[in-house]
Chain A
Amino acid sequence: MYKSRRISTVALGLSFALLAGSSSAWAADAAVKGGTLIYLEQQAHTNLYPPAGGFYPNGGILNQITDKLTYQNPQTLQIEPWIAESWTTNADKTQYTFKLHPGVTFSDGTPLDANAVAKNFDTYGLGNKEHHLPVSEVINNYDHSEVIDPLTVKFYFKKPSPGFLQGTATIGSGLVSLSTLARDFNALGDARHIIGSGPFVVSSETLGREVDLTARKDYNWGPKDLKQQGRANLDGIKIIVTGEDSVRIGALLAGQADFIRQVQAYDEKQAEAKKFPIYAPSTRGVNDGISFRPDNPLVASLKVRQALLHGVDSKQIVATLFSPNYPVATSVIAASAAGYVNLGDKLKYDPELSKKLLDEAGWKPGPNGIRQKDGQPLALTIYESLPQPQNKEVLQLVAQQWNQLGVKLTILAGDAGSRVADSLDPQKTPVNVVEVGRADPDVIKSEFYPTNRDALLQLGGLSSKVKSFKDDKLNALLVDISAEIDPQKRLALAGDAQRYLLDQAYEIPIFEEPQVFAGAPYLHDVSFEAVGRPSFYSAWLAKH
């Protein structure tokens, strides 16, 4: 089972494509117009400033109401035209020029022209202190924009920014009207304030409960390589927050909803038994796993980290808790991610080797079964990560597996406040849950670079509590990925970074995290952007 899944990206992508397309194989010319889709969300959206679109519920809304400059083909990961009809860039990737599609308007009637695009990226690239708008994660080294003519805009960067083109296709780069950008960050939690040019428009909202979207009749600027053209098939979408897992799946199966997000692995069978398709697009980034904070003396030794890495049986975890939609990790990033290298050999479960390594590192079994060194037990603490699927159960299994090696792992739930504060302190949280989705090699830098997410907690990074740990070699590799202008060399560097991270046992990848949805059998042609946010532009509801 697992071997076959490891074979290749292609097989994975293909099987997903088949799964997603199976219900619409004969539907090419039969799309029904009209109807309102009932979409059940697990959580309410938070602030909808587009760079905050990483939060799944936010992305689920933003992906319907905003367009992007470019479109990343979720199958090939190629960048295709959308609001930009064409683009050019200089050799060292410090300048990008985009030619825009004429006649595009935001839903408030204002034009989506070079001026609007320039203002969008000035805000996303530099932030706006006056309005409290933070900088976007996906835009590196931004300097300024220049409006060449009403339909041509040029961006300048301080240093090479090869990831920028892909960055213009991400959920965080959704284009919004000048009126939205003129609002304070505090006001952007109200979905009605997000004025985009997308195929749907927010028509009403009950805060924390429901967002209603209506199709834009005059929409005529979807990505030109898509089969779907013109306005969306659906008349509208009702996004209803339904927190309870069993209620979402129950409502779908009882015919009260058409599409739901966050299906727990143990509910998948129930849906499949009733012929309700499961959609599990990969988030194509850094896999769901555990990272070490080597600043903590307990995990400062490479041997200890290697021992713990080989002491995690990811296959058992996936087989126990998940379904075939959750592939076992074979590298730091997902098999469908750009630059992936299969490093499964470095991730073998080998408890005997682990015990040997721990012995060599001087950790001897203590009286209560927990290994000790100089009277100190090998006891680690980790915080549960709520957004990750069944994270508590995953960590409990890891704790059991480590327990067999004589290592204690305590799992804390904690409120967000203690979690955030403690997880910045390597002494308090020597291990940490990691995961981030983005379909570009920059994603590795995002997760591990000190001034990005800083998963390893390095000196000069997010935390002021780090005493000495810093890995210059790793950081140089990560910077190179974000600045290498030759695409092939960039992928090769991404491979080097994956190898280095595992050779240093800085991270234990466990599984490739999908976003799992389920839909009614009569719902067709839902698609997903490159990191798994649903798009309902081409979706339609058959008679039922």
Chain B
Amino acid sequence: MSQYLSGRVGQALLVLWAAFTLSFVLLQALPGDAVLIKFQDPSMGLSPVQIAEMRAAYGADLPLWQQYLHTLGSFLHGDFGFSIQAGVPVTELLAGNLPPTLRLAVLGFTLALVLALFIAFVSNLVPLRGLKSALLALPALFISVPTFWLGIALIQMFSFHLGWIPVINPGEWVGLILPVITLAVPISAPLAQILIRSIDQVQTQPFVSVARAKGASRSRVLLRHIARNATLPALTIAGLLLGELIAGALVTETVFGLNGIGQLTQQAVNNQDLSVLQAIVVISAAAYVAINLLVDLIYPLLDPRLKPSVGVRS
């Protein structure tokens, strides 16, 4: 088990280093750089000589390999450098933007999961054919609603029209209600679809018939016997939905004017703020690796067949 773990951690570090290097190379390959973009901005009104001086002062004219080693070295020391555009240390930007995004993502994902489970289970149990097909149509509807539009519509309806929830200057948690809904709806769609399909599949298995034959009720069979088996594929997808969650967070943060990694990324991309982008890439890679590791570790808990056979080396 410990060998398995250390292998996975080593793999994770390799992925992180690759992500760092690849992003460094790709970002360097783009035309222009943050120093140029910042100081070339006409509103700064600098002369070419002054711009060249600023580039030299920031080390933007050093050979690439030197910049690479310097950046890598600083990263290993936990120093992510300065954001040239925002004029603050990157760690400060991350400290201000990471927690709100995490909160939004965790709440959004939780609500998405609840929505998906609700749709899948209720559509399975409900006896009315019309209601059932309406519920089954929901994921398709949810996935086709643009996040951006949904956010604006929710704001117009619940904040501006009904005046229930302020968008400007709301309380910390009140302000999250609409963004979390906005983020959860499109994420819940693929989860619900996978759940519905795998419930259907599991239902045809012999052990379900056995349970039914023993006289268990529909809901008991669903919750006790099917759910556990049907959630496995959904869990796999959940790990992969991280990308979607980040993309959704970007749109949600923009619409609701929230601070977070999404809007930070967008600005950093716009300004080629290398140090910020580099930090975001590495952090995203770390999150991705961590979540997939977590999923891998949860599998055996849900499905005993996947438990690594302790003590037996094959």
Contacts and interface: CB of A to CB of B under 8 A. Distances in A.
Interface of A: 38, 40, 44, 46-49, 51-52, 54-55, 127, 129, 132, 134-138, 185-190, 206-209, 238, 240-244, 246-247, 250-251, 253-254, 256-257, 415-422, 424, 436, 446, 451-453, 461-462
A188 B88 CA distance: 7
B198 interface: no
A415 B270 contact: yes
Given A207-B88, A247-B152, A132 B58 contact: yes
B32 A416 contact: yes
Interface string B241-275: 00000000000001111110001100101111000
Given A243-B257, A247-B152, A48 B270 contact: no
B255 A129 contact: no
Contact of A40 (B44, B86, B168): B168
B156 A250 contact: yes
Nearest to B270: A416
> Quick one: which of B32, B49, B51, B156 has the most chain A CB within 10 A?
B32
Give the secondary structure class of B's interface: helix
Interface residues of B, number: 59
B48 interface: yes
Nearest to B87: A189
B259 A209 contact: yes
A215 B49 CA distance: 40
> Quick one: which of A54, A187, A256, A418 has the most chain B CB within 10 A?
A256
B71 interface: no
Nearest to B170: A256
Contacts of A251: 159-160, 167-168
The 5 closest A-B pairs by CB, nearest first: A189-B87, A137-B45, A54-B43, A417-B32, A47-B87
Interface in B43-61: 43-51, 53-54, 57-58
Contact of A240 (B39, B97, B169): B169
Contacts of A238: 169
Contacts of B57: 129, 132
Contacts of B43: 52, 54-55, 137, 436
A251 B49 CA distance: 45
A79 B217 CA distance: 87
Nearest to B84: A186
Contact of A190 (B50, B88, B167, B263): B88
B82 interface: yes
Contacts of B97: 207-208
Nearest to A43: B267
Contact of A243 (B40, B89, B92, B254): B254
A461 B88 CA distance: 31
B120 to A, nearest CB: 33
A417 B31 contact: yes
